[in-house]
Structure 1
Amino acid sequence: MRTLKPAHSPFLPLCAVLTFMTSLPTSAAPPAPNKKITYNLNLLSGSDEYNNELLYALQAQQLPGTHQIEITLNGTPESSEEIEFVDHAGIVSPCLTPKNFKSWGVNLKTTELAFTPEGCWITDSNTEVQANYIYDTLTLQMLIPKGFMFSAFDKNMQNADPGINAIYTNYRFDASHNRRLGTSAGQGSTLSSNYFMSLNSGLNIGDWRLRNTSYLRSANGEWKSQSAYTYAYTNLPALASRLSLGQINTSSTVFEGHRLYGAELSTDTSLLPPQYKSYTPVLSGLAKTNARVTVAQQGQVIYETYVNAGVFELKGVDSVSSSNFVITVHEQDGSSQEFIVLNTRSSRVISAGHWRYGLAAGYLDSNDEPMMQLSLQYGVFNGLSAYAGTQYLQDYHAILFGQAVTLGPWGEAWMETTSSRSVSPRSTHSGQQARVGYNNNLDVLNTSINLTYEQRMSKDYRSLNQHTHSGYYTFESHRLKDRLQAQVFHRLPGRLGTFSVHQSVEHHWTGLGNKTTQHHTSSLSFGSSIGKLSYSMTYTHNLAQSAKRVKSTDESWLVSLSMPLFERTRLSASRLNDSSTLTLSHQSTDRTSNLYLSSTHYDDGSYRSTEAGADYFGRYGDVRAAIGQSTYGDSIRYGATGGMIVSHHGFVLADRVSESAMLVSVKDVENIAFTNSNTARTNGKGYAVINGLSPYNKNTVTVDTDKMPADVDFPSTKITAVPTRGAIIYKNINAISGAQVLFNLSTRDQRKIPYAAVAYIDDVRTQYMVDDGQTLYMDGLKKGDLNFTVRWGEGHDQQCEVKTNIPAREKDVDVQIMNASCI
């Protein structure tokens, strides 16, 4: 809202409209309406003199020059662009270039459009393509037959931007300092410190991307560093593929992923139609005490954090391979629990007649053995796909065949068999494995189901991971026999809540003949809300049975309640078996910080803990800290997360940098927010990083006008981009920054300045119009001396100059009103 002071001008609405239409930066599009309206100019200016700007205004035409206008394509908003308008024999029309048509998805080979030597579209070269410019709304309406257009997907591929050359990194740092009390009389306390840092970095040069993920860990002074992968890749749109070189994780959807030093050429689903989407599982679990949680893949820790007692959910965990996630909860009492979360693979059913492939070759990271892997998928006909693959090492060979079928609205089922032969110095192992699965999303029933059953026909079957990681995945005398995993999620009608079931049953061969061990895990959860009160219940049951039929069980009940006490203050309570936890939390009004106080105790008094902490989420990342005391000792934790980009535009900090991102520049305008991000705001130089761009899709970034500074305005608040995979796009948003002033003009000889007289500042393209009350609105004015010229003709007596001083903006005053003498 604009506040006027000292009085409201009756001509401000007209003045504002005229200024908006004429003060936009200056470029071309279809012609404006050519019908001329006749006026008696004497009534407006008191003389027969007029100027070209006034004539354009009376004819409802855009002024020549480059202007920011809105584009609609066949009735749908397309973009906001700078278009050049040119004057041809008194008619001003936009100059539309081949580049404009290409960006709108027009196939120039089919339209046979003609262009002038200057590159402007000749409007009558194809009567089927029509353009209409609406002066009142600064909108160019394009009507182009569908036959002249690329498909939406091909249009995005045509306009895909590889981005700028840049370096970026994301970091996460966590540290804890612990004092553990002695467990017996006379035993002193022990001190320990743990540090964990992950760096996810990248370098973009042209179409090539270099990526690295590294970890640095320290436990009690012993530091260890580890590089998960370092590789380069480039997109190959013509093949719908990606070429990767270096220390990579194979991306096959047929086999489990493996780390190797080498090369991989495989189908990139981001270069295929949008129905092929990747899936990332939710990593959640249950902690009995305030615990440290680690996530590993292929025996390598890829994520570490700290959680409070109760159910936890980990966000922002990036998978480094297609292997399953192994989550370990390290409790304060020294015990630990481990469970596996399936890294669900993408759909096995593909379109009829289409291929997907993956070819990888190199040296395995685990033992430096040369290895080759090939996988193929083919859509036999609609709803049925077949796939096959092979893995070959000098002393290991596996071959896989499978098929998948869609069941219409009832989901997807698949079945596959694998045969392997593994040679070791002491023996040779050959065996087979069969796997079947089913998954669906029943929208009608608000239910999703995922089932997987795996059966190994003999003890001698070995997967590649078992062959190369003997001792981690399985022992010689203790191998997986079969595994059943089921996940069901159901949303009840209305707001009654959600229900989920997780089930896992495993049998393992032992060295005692055909006897097996059994591991059984079940989990049932229900959550709902009543008004502002939310609640949930979770039951977990674990059963382990040895080969001698000795059973051990562990079960737990968790009940949680959460309700608001005051505005942005919540009280949460949970009951886990014989322990209770109470948490009080408060979130700031702008949602950038959170404070909490938590207390846990066991009924028998064997364990108590209290923890207080704070989190701050800002434009440059987040920082967190907590201090706690428990029966086992004391602890202090702290950490930080953030990202940064370095390019020829300079060094820009961010809360993070996603795989495909946008570097936005609003030159020298600070604190501009965007609706696409809760935390992104421009820094002192006007830069901000917008994350989460979808590769090969049109992405729109919009300025949040509700959070815009009072002295800033934008000709257009939207920018669009189609990034390639891994691109960092640079986009500039034009901003008008400075004071907004409404001048009441007067002249020394009391001459009347005519309606539509033009005011302009030297070296500034923007022009402003005077209304019929000699009122002039100008924006983007800097504090200090200001000189500008007002002109309504070509003669010296048809112009005057204003010399004034712009004061500092008064608080709560958006538009200042000033008197100015035009001499």
Structure 2
Amino acid sequence: MKTPFIKKMPFKRSALSAAIFLLIFPSAVRAEDEIQFNTDVLDTQDKGNIDLSHFSRRGYVMPGEYTFTIMVNKDSLREEPIVVYAEGKEGKDSLICLTPDQVSRLNLKSSTLSELRWLRDGQCLDTTSLHGMEMRVDLSKDTLYLSIPQAYIEFTAPNWDPSSRWDEGIAGLIADYNINFQTQHANNASDSQNLSGTGVFGANFGPWRARADWQANWNRRSGYTDKDFTFSRYYLYRAIPTLKAKLTMGEDYLSSDIFDTFRFSGVSLNSDLSMLPPSLRGYAPEVTGVSRAGGKVVISQQGRVLYETQVAAGPFRIQELNDAVSGTLDVRVEELDGSVQVFQVSTASVPYLTRPGAVRYKLAAGKPSEWEHSMVGPLFTSAEASWGIANGWTLYGGSIIGGDYNALSVGVGRDLYLLGAIAADVTQSRATLPSEGVQTGTSYRVSYSKTFDEYDSQVTFAGYRFSERDFMSMSEYLDARYGSGTTHSPKEKYTVSFNQRFRDLGLTAYLNYSHQTYWNSADNDRLSLSLSRYVDLGPFKNMSVSLSVYRSEYYSQKDDGAYISLSMPFGDGASISYGATVNRTDNTHRVSYYGRLDEHNSYQVSSGLSRSGPTAYGYYTWQGDSAQVQANASYQSGSYSGLGMTVTGGLTATAEGAAAHRSNARGGSRVLVDTSGVSGVPVKGFGASVKTNRFGKAVIADVNSYYRNPVRIDVDKLAENADVTRSISQATLTEGAIGYRQFDVIAGGKAMAFIRKADGSFPPFGASVVNDKNQETGVVNDEGSVWLSGISPDGKMSVKWDGKTRCVVQMPPVLPQVLDNLLLTCAPE
């Protein structure tokens, strides 16, 4: 078993710390801030050859420029370059200089900032102007600790930082992609292949993000091939931290809590809930279903593919969609057996409530646009706002003004406290069509949400909407005026999402139901219910039993099915399960084994029977350093065979370096990690670790915008020939930012060495040994002995004392196989 503390804290620091402890506590005499040492306690022959000037003043830090992680109370901020100046009589004191820019990230209240005093022509904070503030430096951890009374600091929340600490990142280019391939062979039909992909090209400069979304599709069936590639969207955006809003210019989709979405070209300014603490953010849309044979799930909206991935056979639950997505989503499940499921999911907005005294708003102006980037329809402006008034009431409303199409909405929301939250609104539209004249209609909506803690249940969303026959959304108007005019006209819509836990039974239930009726077409229905619980049967513990059923009717196409499974843990992270799938056309029974090789590799294999014969199935996931791969394989005797694969990744290039990487949210935030040119260093965020490439660079993509993300070196997997002085950092990035974090990693051998000067003497006790990157690799002990790290053939290291480089050590061109008791000469520069 590895012990990271012992491994990463070499003898040089422990020996020196012990010596200083003996020096200070038994025999130190403090005269004001100066500490005098009794060197008689040291077991050294040359007591006059000792350099302890570093430690003669309490809190003294040698003048120079450092890179410190700043800790404010218990919160870790990003690394900052900190300059330390010599101050006081004869320069024996040190001034740790916090610049105005650095102080602005400490999250001090505006009233506190106005009272601060500054030194050195306004460039360094006078810490005495902030009563009660304490500051200290831990050089062994490269950390500056600040203790600031809480009364001076603005509101913070766990894992969330205020805007003063957000990081806009560095300039760079990105290219993210998601590639899917599926092939099917059916005994009674021709073979088919499909290759599809989506991705983003982008550039970051300052706070601005430029993005170009693309999607492609290639199909071959019965000797016929069709293909398509298009850039679906071009746009610019940036965060406006002072307004807690996002500014977008270019092609966009209307973001609204009141009106249905549509595509347009123009500009928008929207309050961004992701900038708020997590407890105040909205719900992200969720898509659930059951895959019969494993395959590809494609989620799209108005032709734009939002998400696609391979899923294993059985129930799936997709929660990775951005909470900015609104409106109706089209879901398509392309099974490996050649069948297809199609249904719609309506993204639910929780009751439109705003905190008392706060205002949320969304503004947009432009012209509706089509898929080929051409614009059609009237110029329009859209505005909506929500105002939280006292006693839990919220007033909200909005309008779309666009020539022949106009809409107005007003609503009220109420926090019912113990009874939940409810909101109701009325929207009226007025559209002028050349053939039908003026069409005026009204739509009514009610939404409700509640968590019943005492019953372990939660109504995530429940809503009802009724629209009159002549009510039209902007999309319906555009289709009636400029399109085919075949838009389905909604009438009534019921939606509910419900969670329930039965603690006594150990049972959890999840229900999702939607019912949509239309004035001019057949109804749509979607019902899904999931039940799960853990049971113990004799020697078998923590067995999981689950049941998922669904019923779907999509424009007269009916689809019913159920899936039941029993899973039992088996070994380290593995499980054995039985599953049965039942639908209108077939019944399948499978026995499966799920295994996890490590944090990067997992798999599932199964075999079973169906009405058509024996079946076999496999699913594999690999999370590599440069991409993530999900693979599906399905076979049914005498019927079909199919193979599917998803490859997801990206490339990020900046002036600080470049790396290929896994990709989380396309075009989203990421952190470029620099390990001082050392390759193979494992770094990680929330997910599996990533090793730095040959240039010492890696990208962590599993980060969230406006969220305090950990960035750390996985010391448990660090190679034996590498050392780090600091292994943890953090990053709170604005949306789409490329963060940059640098770690001092020392690569090379480690050994006890003895350093002699050219005249045969040795450097003083306490002298520092540094490499060509100015990283400290050792501290001289008695008679020139030093525990040295970072040893490489023909390398050079400098030895410093009294604040200056005194001589240079040249390593042998060929190192001995056993590094021990190296005798090194320190020659003048």
Q: 1:32–1:133: 8 Å Cα contact kept in structure 2?
A: no
Q: Residues of 2 paired with 1:314 and 1:142: CA distance?
A: 42
Q: Residues of 1 paired with 2:501 and 2:46: CA distance?
A: 76
Q: 2:350–2:447: 8 Å Cα contact kept in structure 1?
A: no
| 1:336-351 superposed matches below 5 A | 336-345=340-349, 348-351=352-355
Structure 1: gaps spanning 5 or more residues: 4-9, 22-30, 183-188, 512-516, 547-551
Q: How far is 1:456 from its partner?
A: 3.1
Q: How far is 1:310 from its partner?
A: 2.7
Q: 1:156–1:722: 8 Å Cα contact kept in structure 2?
A: no
Deviations 1:746-779 (A, max 9, x none): 7999978764355566884737433347531122
Q: Percent identity?
A: 22
Answer yes or no: is 1:557 the counterpart of 2:579: no
Structure 1, 381-390 or 453-462: larger mean CA deviation: 453-462
Aligned to 1:376: 385
Q: Counterpart of 2:52 in structure 1: which amino acid?
A: L
Of 182, 185, 188, 1:179 maps to 185
Structure 1, 312-321 or 247-256: larger mean CA deviation: 312-321
Q: Counterpart of 2:725 in structure 1: which amino acid?
A: P
Q: Residues of 1 paired with 2:75 and 2:309: CA distance?
A: 46
Aligned to 2:52: 54
Q: How far is 1:147 from its partner?
A: 5.1
Structure 1, 198-207 or 587-596: larger mean CA deviation: 587-596
Q: Counterpart of 2:821 in structure 1: which amino acid?
A: M
Q: How far is 1:627 from its partner?
A: 4.1
Q: Residues of 2 paired with 1:733 and 1:135: CA distance?
A: 15
Q: How far is 1:368 from its partner?
A: 0.6
Q: Residues of 2 paired with 1:654 and 1:711: CA distance?
A: 25
Q: Counterpart of 1:635 in structure 2: which amino acid?
A: G
Answer yes or no: is 1:261 the counterpart of 2:265: yes
Q: Counterpart of 1:820 in structure 2: which amino acid?
A: L
Q: Residues of 1 paired with 2:565 and 2:198: CA distance?
A: 32
Answer yes or no: is 1:402 the counterpart of 2:411: yes
Q: SS state of the match for residue 163, structure 1?
A: coil
Q: Counterpart of 2:680 in structure 1: which amino acid?
A: N
Q: SS state of the match for residue 36, structure 1?
A: strand
Q: 1:363–1:371: 8 Å Cα contact kept in structure 2?
A: yes
Q: Residues of 2 paired with 1:477 and 1:302: CA distance?
A: 22
Q: Residues of 2 paired with 1:774 and 1:453: CA distance?
A: 78
Aligned to 1:39: 38
Aligned to 2:538: none
Q: Counterpart of 1:387 in structure 2: which amino acid?
A: Y
Q: Residues of 2 paired with 1:423 and 1:809: CA distance?
A: 88
Q: How far is 1:655 from its partner?
A: 0.3
Distance 1:294 1:477, change over 3 A: closer
Q: Residues of 1 paired with 2:516 and 2:635: CA distance?
A: 38
Deviations 1:764-796 (A, max 9, x none): 47374333475311222223465765879999x
Aligned to 1:549: none
Of 105, 108, 111, 2:107 maps to 105
Distance 1:333 1:130, change over 3 A: closer
Distance 1:572 1:33, change over 3 A: farther
Distance 1:55 1:409, change over 3 A: same
Distance 1:792 1:79, change over 3 A: closer
Answer yes or no: is 1:164 the counterpart of 2:170: yes
Structure 2: gaps spanning 5 or more residues: 4-9, 22-29, 536-540
Q: Residues of 2 paired with 1:612 and 1:679: CA distance?
A: 25
Deviations 1:497-521 (A, max 9, x none): 311222333333358xxxxx65554
Aligned to 1:736: 746
Q: 1:33–1:61: 8 Å Cα contact kept in structure 2?
A: no
Aligned to 1:411: 420
Q: SS state of the match for residue 805, structure 1?
A: coil
Of 576, 594, 600, 1:571 maps to 576
| 1:743-782 superposed matches below 5 A | 743-744=753-754, 755-756=765-766, 759=769, 764=774, 766=776, 768-772=778-782, 775-782=785-792
Answer yes or no: is 1:582 the counterpart of 2:590: yes
Q: SS state of the match for residue 381, structure 1?
A: coil
Distance 1:110 1:194, change over 3 A: same
Q: 1:804–1:820: 8 Å Cα contact kept in structure 2?
A: no
Q: 2:115–2:129: 8 Å Cα contact kept in structure 1?
A: no
Q: How far is 1:232 from its partner?
A: 1.0
Distance 1:20 1:593, change over 3 A: farther
Distance 1:326 1:478, change over 3 A: closer
Q: How far is 1:431 from its partner?
A: 2.2
Aligned to 2:820: 817
Aligned to 1:364: 368
Q: 1:277–1:346: 8 Å Cα contact kept in structure 2?
A: no
Q: How far is 1:168 from its partner?
A: 0.8
| 1:607-686 superposed matches below 5 A | 609-630=615-636, 631-656=638-663, 658=665, 659-676=668-685, 677-686=687-696
Distance 1:417 1:608, change over 3 A: farther
Q: How far is 1:173 from its partner?
A: 0.9
Q: Residues of 1 paired with 2:443 and 2:744: CA distance?
A: 61
Q: SS state of the match for residue 683, structure 1?
A: coil
Q: 1:593–1:617: 8 Å Cα contact kept in structure 2?
A: yes
TM-score, scaled relative to structure 2: 0.82
Q: Counterpart of 1:383 in structure 2: which amino acid?
A: G
Q: 1:433–1:454: 8 Å Cα contact kept in structure 2?
A: no
Q: 2:161–2:707: 8 Å Cα contact kept in structure 1?
A: no
Q: 2:351–2:422: 8 Å Cα contact kept in structure 1?
A: no
RMSD (Å) for aligned C-alpha atoms:
4.2
Q: How far is 1:572 from its partner?
A: 2.5
Q: 1:266–1:358: 8 Å Cα contact kept in structure 2?
A: yes
Distance 1:714 1:328, change over 3 A: same
Q: How far is 1:669 from its partner?
A: 1.2
Structure 1, 110-119 or 682-691: larger mean CA deviation: 110-119
Q: Residues of 2 paired with 1:767 and 1:308: CA distance?
A: 50
Distance 1:147 1:817, change over 3 A: same
Q: How far is 1:157 from its partner?
A: 2.4
Q: How far is 1:698 from its partner?
A: 4.4
Q: Residues of 1 paired with 2:547 and 2:793: CA distance?
A: 61
Q: 2:543–2:569: 8 Å Cα contact kept in structure 1?
A: yes
Q: How far is 1:592 from its partner?
A: 1.7
Aligned to 1:95: 96
Distance 1:425 1:258, change over 3 A: same
TM-score, scaled relative to structure 1: 0.83
Q: Residues of 1 paired with 2:215 and 2:269: CA distance?
A: 27
| 1:111-510 superposed matches below 5 A | 111-116=115-120, 119-121=123-125, 128-132=132-136, 140-146=144-150, 148-152=152-156, 156-182=162-188, 189-220=189-220, 221-272=225-276, 275-314=279-318, 316-317=320-321, 321-330=325-334, 336-345=340-349, 348-366=352-370, 368-372=376-380, 373-428=382-437, 429-456=439-466, 458-469=468-479, 479-493=489-503, 496-510=506-520
Q: SS state of the match for residue 692, structure 2?
A: coil
Q: SS state of the match for residue 15, structure 2?
A: helix
Q: How far is 1:728 from its partner?
A: 1.2
Q: SS state of the match for residue 812, structure 2?
A: strand
Q: SS state of the match for residue 350, structure 1?
A: coil
Deviations 1:417-447 (A, max 9, x none): 1222333343243322211111123344332
Distance 1:529 1:85, change over 3 A: same
Q: Residues of 2 paired with 1:305 and 1:643: CA distance?
A: 16
Aligned to 1:186: none
Structure 1, 136-145 or 208-217: larger mean CA deviation: 136-145
Q: Residues of 2 paired with 1:289 and 1:793: CA distance?
A: 70
Distance 1:753 1:41, change over 3 A: farther
Aligned to 1:538: 548
Q: Residues of 2 paired with 1:11 and 1:609: CA distance?
A: 60
Distance 1:288 1:660, change over 3 A: closer
Q: Counterpart of 2:609 in structure 1: which amino acid?
A: H
Q: 1:156–1:698: 8 Å Cα contact kept in structure 2?
A: no
Q: SS state of the match for residue 682, structure 2?
A: coil
Q: How far is 1:337 from its partner?
A: 3.6
Q: Counterpart of 1:505 in structure 2: which amino acid?
A: H
Q: How far is 1:11 from its partner?
A: 7.9
Q: How far is 1:44 from its partner?
A: 6.1
Aligned residues: 783
Q: 1:33–1:133: 8 Å Cα contact kept in structure 2?
A: no
Structure 1, 592-601 or 734-743: larger mean CA deviation: 592-601
Distance 1:374 1:271, change over 3 A: same
